[in-house]
Structure 1
């Protein structure tokens, strides 16, 4: 019922009571005792309507207006510490209960935002450090790749020079092979000439031998001639001496020619052995030149790959610097967010993300985690139980004053019940599994949803 309707109802009842009183006193001549009874009933009715109006307004507000004003003023100044519950704040539709629920939700949101901002600050700081380390590492790797690329250039130049030298050596080896073959042929010709000379020397030796025989015969004939042949004997003696000297020279020349032929034969054999070695050397040099060509191509490919790696590292370094700048900007945003959240009183915000405490319904019962919800289905026994009136509940509330901690959980504070939509605000804490609610009210009925503890 709206507040204006309640005021209209109470005003109507009071006007009706006054009308009855006026009608009874003016139009109907009652006895004084009856008039006193009517006046008493009218006053009692007016008092009851006033009491009912006060109770209805207090029930709608849930607390004194000054208390509600103080709560809203604290929230306006960023203070979201849990406030004490009023006598009528247990009703879900009271203004004070809604304000407490809003305060709890905002406190949960502020706690989640604070935790998220702290996590974002730590993550951004870690990302910034990682990006800086990555940038430094990439710079070092880029310098190393540049040095390696320069070394590969030098190696490629050395391989190219070796290839040129190998080609020149191959040409020289081939020419040497040709020269050795020609030299071998020349040696063979020399040997043949030596053999011819030896044959001619043998002829000269024979001629000297025959000349010696003729000189001997001439000497014999001169001896027979006596004095007339003495001069011819001297000539024959000189001819014999010349023949002996020619024979001795021919013998020496023959010996030297024979030795030269042997040396020429040995030189020919050595040249015959050198030709295959020189050809093998030429083939090996040609293979070395081919391998040097392949090494030059491979070095060029490696140099190209190193250039690509260097380009990739430069791009990675630029990306890491961009990441570092982004992390710095994120850190600035997080700092601004934390400065904004710092407006709110965070003394109770750190306790919002803590898990719900465990409470015991009875000392002998097994402790279960307290997870109050906004609605809980009744059991069969509770459905059959009689419904208590508001007055009895109020009287029980007044007779048993509640402390800041419920009876079922005196040791530890409980968490404000949060709907599933509000629970999604926290992006860091894992979503807890739904658990069966435990009654914290001594009556264990559906009014448990309003028994909420605040620090």
Structure 2
């Protein structure tokens, strides 16, 4: 039987139980004018109450909405007072009950509304019967009129509430069915998800949730499969990257060890260079000191050479004076030679005269002979002296020439000594600058040695950290190798595969 047929059967049972026979239905139709007069006031009272109660007024958007509801309810009471309780009436009551169930209007407000409306209807009937209702038999008619209106109202309220409760039960049953279906779907999805999670916990990134899961779990399964595919790609990329990092870290480890060895060798070489440079600096410093001493000695030699030059100049002047004196002596010797010659002539003449004188001139002749001999010896002595002076003059000239040459040579020596003194001074200055520069270089080399030692220490620490990094990368790589992913060259395996959870992939590999 249909829902409408069931309700029609139910209303027949209710009207029979309430005693709604043809007479009462006719009485209800007779009251229709009275009801139509009173229903408006009753609805006004009811909706005034509704407007003041937030729990009920929330179901209406405004005054127009309430007026529309009031019009529909007034029309419904017109159907009620027809007393036919046919399909049209059943459809109207069913609509009212479903609307109340849909909007969540609790029965207490519905019952309260009927009470207010029935109150106004009873007042209307009483006013309509006034004052003739107090005669014999009139009170029974009034009671019958009120009774039929109340029974009609209760019947209408019963039917509306029954529809309301049926709708609630239907919703509850529907919700229960949905809950059970959702529970079944959830259990099915959880079972498949449990299997797939077990495979995932075993490192299998190839298993997927099957497509066609019930309800919303299908989209969740697609999202999960997409997430696992992204995870698989990420793990594969991380694994490949970790393999490369491991290779690079091992190369870096080898390079670090070689760098450490080279740094140690460099530190040793710099230390040796520092020692050699220190010795060289000391040697250059000593050379500079000796050069300064040589410069001092050269300066003294230059001073002595200058003094010697002065002495040579004095000697040349003295020899010139000697030469002049020799010339004068030669001149004097010439005079003496002339005197001796004249004396010899005079002695010769005296001897001649003495000879003429005879015996008387014999003594004089002896004297003259002695004088002549003396004159001859003087002449010979003068000639010898002259010869000696001549030889001395020659020697003096030769000495003057030699002394002049010595002076010239000494001047050249003085010039050379001055040049040597300047050169030695330049060497001493350069040696001092070299010593200062070598000192700075030595300081720089010492600082470089210190930095190199620090670098060697840092290289050792870096090498240790690289060794630790290599160990960590090896452990990471080993862990990543535990995930099962398909061969990247295998294009036949699709990420959208719908293998059952826990099934082994058709083409998968355990990365070793």
What SS does structure 2 have at the residue aligned with 1:403?
coil
Distance across 2 between alignment mates of 1:190 and 1:138: 74
Q: Does 1:206 align with 2:338?
A: yes
Q: More deviation in 134-143 or 87-96? A: 87-96
1:280/1:403 CA distance change after superposition, 3 Å:
same
Q: 2:455 aligned to 323, 340, 344, which one?
A: 323
| Contact 2:309/2:407 (8 A) holds in 1 | yes
Return the offset for 1:57.
3.1
Q: 2:507 aligned to 390, 404, 419, which one?
A: 404
Q: 1:134 aligned to 237, 254, 266, which one?
A: 266
Return the offset for 1:309.
1.0
1:213-243 per-residue CA deviation (whole Å, 9 max, x = no partner) reads 2222222222222233333333322222222
Q: More deviation in 110-119 or 166-175? A: 110-119
- Match in the other structure for 2:209: 88
Distance across 2 between alignment mates of 1:394 and 1:200: 154
Higher helix proportion: 2
Q: Does 1:114 align with 2:217?
A: no
What SS does structure 1 have at the residue aligned with 2:423?
helix
1:112/1:212 CA distance change after superposition, 3 Å:
closer
Number of residues of Structure 1 aligned to a counterpart in Structure 2: 327
Distance across 2 between alignment mates of 1:229 and 1:350: 169
Residue segments in structure 2 that go unaligned for 5+ positions in a row: 1-172, 211-220
Distance across 2 between alignment mates of 1:215 and 1:96: 164
- Match in the other structure for 1:43: none
1:349/1:283 CA distance change after superposition, 3 Å:
farther
Return the offset for 1:308.
0.9
- Match in the other structure for 2:303: 171
Distance across 1 between alignment mates of 2:414 and 2:463: 71
TM-score normalised by length of structure 2: 0.54
| Contact 1:205/1:247 (8 A) holds in 2 | yes
1:307/1:124 CA distance change after superposition, 3 Å:
same
Residue segments in structure 1 that go unaligned for 5+ positions in a row: 1-11, 18-45, 72-82, 362-369, 375-389, 406-412, 414-452
- Match in the other structure for 2:130: none
Return the offset for 1:268.
1.9
- Match in the other structure for 2:372: 240
- Match in the other structure for 2:417: 285
Matches within 5 A, 1:375-414: 394=498, 403-405=506-508
Return the offset for 1:137.
2.2
1:220-270 per-residue CA deviation (whole Å, 9 max, x = no partner) reads 222222233333333322222222222111111111111111221222233
Return the offset for 1:97.
6.2
| Contact 2:344/2:372 (8 A) holds in 1 | yes
Return the offset for 1:121.
2.2
Distance across 2 between alignment mates of 1:233 and 1:87: 177
Return the offset for 1:182.
0.8
Distance across 2 between alignment mates of 1:154 and 1:189: 51
- Match in the other structure for 2:385: 253
Distance across 1 between alignment mates of 2:407 and 2:282: 43
Q: More deviation in 181-190 or 97-106? A: 97-106
- Match in the other structure for 2:446: 314
| Contact 1:13/1:49 (8 A) holds in 2 | no
Return the offset for 1:154.
2.1
Return the offset for 1:184.
0.9
TM-score normalised by length of structure 1: 0.60
| Contact 1:153/1:303 (8 A) holds in 2 | yes
| Contact 2:235/2:480 (8 A) holds in 1 | no
- Match in the other structure for 2:349: 217
Return the offset for 1:306.
0.9
| Contact 2:312/2:407 (8 A) holds in 1 | yes
